[in-house]
Amino acid sequence: MRTLLSVGLAICVSVSVLVVRQAGVAEAGFHCMRIHAVMGGFSSNNNIQYVELRMALGGQTFLSGHTIQFFDATNTLKATFTFPSNVANGLTGESTLIATSEFNSNVTGGAADFTFSGANTVGVNGGDPLHPVQLTGGSVVFQGITCGTPRTVVDAVAYGGGTALFGSAAVALPGSGTAQSLRLANININPADNSTEYSLQNVPVAVATVLPANLTTDFNTPRNNGRSVIKLNAPVAPVGGVAEAPDLTSSAAASSAGSDRTMQYAIVGVLAAAAMTGAAGWYVHRRRAAQLP
């Protein structure tokens, strides 16, 4: 009897441990992430936007169903993005890149892992779901269970006077006037202070592939889950200037002057012909008069 009880207890303990471990794996699948970088515009285009997450611990690949929310400077929710699927690479320091279609159209060396669209992003309170990053102040909030110190969100970054959940807001996003993004300076699990952890940094001028050993030390952004550092290209400006109509006044004047000269030549010709005819007639008349008796 004791043996049966011991076996039953062991089975219960084993099942409990298995359930706890499975729950722990599921919980640890997304909640140790940081918002690594935010861009609100590049070169001359405010629609070139992206948000990059980075894994503070390995295994944070189970993003499907979790959200990123975008607030303006008055802390009004403007848009919510929901991850439609998971990502593949899950080492510590791996990135997940979410961007606009204009971003993907103006880059070299890769593309975003997810694109803001009507299928995965909802705009509210007048927000644009296709271009959700708010300029020049606001905040980006990654929702879900926390990692480390208990809190209500995984990570959040406020900028330009936006409402900060961690410390105070970082500097404002520069919009399209520069080639910079708001970037995190560490890979710490727990957020501390947006104003000291984030700063404006230039984006790369060349493409690159980050080796697994360098994932935690390479802070270049934007980088996708395929470990590609992506180069942003300035949008191509329209070719040529404004077409000018021909100077009809000058053409008309030239045409008129030509017509006047032609008329003058014609008159001179007629007068010369008349003079020659008159001279010939006078000569004939004089010859006839000389022959009369």
- Tell me: the pLDDT tens digits for 164-214? 999 999 999 998 888 999 999 999 999 999 999 999 999 999 999 999 999
Identify the pLDDT of residue 244: 45
257 — alpha (psi -120 to 50), left (phi > 0) or beta?
A: alpha
94 versus 150: the higher-pLDDT residue is 94
- Express each pLDDT in 246-260 by its tens digit: 444 444 444 444 545
pLDDT of residue 143: 83
pLDDT at 175: 81
With contact defined as beta carbons under 8 Å apart, do 196 and 225 qualify? no
Q: Is the peptide bond before 222 cis (omega within 30 degrees of 0)?
A: yes
**19-33, 80-94, 168-182: lowest mean pLDDT where?**
19-33
270 or 80, which is more confident?
80
Please compute the mean of the pLDDT values over residues 147-176 and round it to a whole number. 90
Task: Please give the pLDDT value at position 14.
Answer: 39
pLDDT at site 93: 98
Higher pLDDT, 151 or 13: 151
The alpha carbon of 173 is separated from its chain's Cα centroid by a whole number of angstroms, namely: 14
Q: Quick one: pLDDT at residue 276? A: 56
The CA distance from 230 to 222, in Å, is: 6
pLDDT recorded at residue 277? 56
- Region 60-73: what's the mean pLDDT? 95
Q: Is the pLDDT of residue 223 over 60?
A: yes
Tell which wins on pLDDT, 148 or 75.
75
CA–CA gap between residue 249 and residue 255 (Å, rounded) = 10
Average pLDDT in the chain: 80
pLDDT of 240 strictly over 70: no
According to the model, what pLDDT value does residue 284 have? 45
Taking 70 as the threshold, does the pLDDT of residue 7 lie above it?
no
**Two tokens, residue 233:** 């290209």
Question: What's the confidence (pLDDT) of residue 214?
Answer: 98
Task: Tell me the C-alpha distance between 58 and 266, whole Å.
Answer: 97
Q: SS3 for the chain, per residue?
A: CHHHHHHHHHHHHHHHHHHHHHHHHHHCCCCCEEEEEEECCECCECCCCEEEEEECCCCCCCCCCCEEEEEECCCCEEEEEECCCCCCCCCCCCEEEEECHHHHHCEECCCCCEECCCCCEEECCCCCCCCCCCCCCEEEEEECCCCCCCCCEEEEEEECCCCCCCCCCECCCCHHHCCEEEEECCCCCCCCCHHHHEEEEECCCCCEECCHHHCCCCCCCCECCCCEECEECCCCCCCCCCCCCCCHHHHHHHHHHHHHHHHHHHHHHHHHHHHHHHHHHHHHHHHHHHHCC
Query: In the prediction, which pLDDT does 205 show?
Result: 93
Which position has the higher pLDDT, 78 or 21? Answer: 78
Q: What percent of the chain has pLDDT over 70?
A: 68
Percent of the chain topping pLDDT 90: 63
Amino acid 267 reads I
Q: How far apart are CA 123 and CA 127, in angstroms?
A: 5
- Are 29 and 66 in contact, with CB atoms under 8 Å apart? no
96 pLDDT band (50/70/90 cuts)? Answer: very high
Give pLDDT, residue 235. Answer: 76
